[in-house]
Amino acid sequence: MEEIQLYSFDLDGTLLDTAPDFFYAVNKLRKDNGLESGDFLEVRSRVSQGAASLAAYALNLENKSPQKIEFHRQELLEIYESCCLLSTVIFDGVEYVLNQLNNQKIKWGIVTNKPRKFAEGIVEDKLGAFKPPFLICPDDVGARKPDPDGLLLALEVSNSKPSKSIYIGDHIIDIQAGEKARMITGAAAYGYIPINDNVMNWNSNHVFNEAKDIISLIAK
């Protein structure tokens, strides 16, 4: 395999552990509706599936109308906006990986399904010290993963070839987006894997059980 020249990362569940703040928002929504605290592992497993999945779990809306779920999704996001910097941290090993990329002057950046109104402030607060060269959100391309448009924009702005670029994420939609963009793919098995899912079934080119394992590619 040729040397990788661009490392693109998903955000939630790959670079940042945002689950504690989503858990806070879910429980606030549950409490406001007379429900007891939810299950953290259930919330953690749903973060990469998006706010609609979290809202559906929070208020037991799995079989309700999309309109009802959307209403409470917006409600959940309003709560999340007020707490999104409380407990979010960088995953163990990520700091080392990003420092190595910067020290070796290897291109990298972030492509996320998180709306820019949330992603920009969180990235600045938690990852600003690493000076991410780019942050691409659905707002920028008008589509969400598994659509590859965000990754195609990443390749364009970094002047990178797909065959020499990798996308790393913790959900099968990340791998699907990477494949559609003809990039190398990496599964962040330490992230928010949905319950009863298995990263080995995603057919990614690489599987990283810990963030620090990404160093093995950089070293090569």
pLDDT score recorded for residue 2: 62
Q: Are the beta carbons of 175 and 155 closer than 8 angstroms?
A: no
- pTM for the structure as a whole: 0.95
In one-letter notation, the amino acid at residue 139 is D
Q: Which of 12, 21, 147, 149 is catalytic?
A: 12
Q: Does residue 12 carry a catalytic annotation? A: yes
One digit per residue, pLDDT tens: the chain, 220 residues? 568 999 999 999 999 999 999 999 999 999 999 999 999 999 999 999 999 999 999 999 988 899 999 999 999 999 999 999 999 999 999 999 999 999 999 999 999 999 999 999 999 999 999 999 999 999 999 999 999 999 999 999 999 999 999 999 999 999 999 999 999 999 999 999 999 999 999 999 999 999 999 999 997 6
Alpha carbon distance 43, 142 (integer Å)? 27
Q: Does residue 32 carry a catalytic annotation? A: no
Q: Is 85 exposed, middle or buried (0-12, 13-18, 19+ CB in 10 A)?
A: middle
pLDDT score recorded for residue 219: 75
pLDDT score recorded for residue 145: 98
Q: Residue 205: how many CB atoms within 10 A of its CB?
A: 16
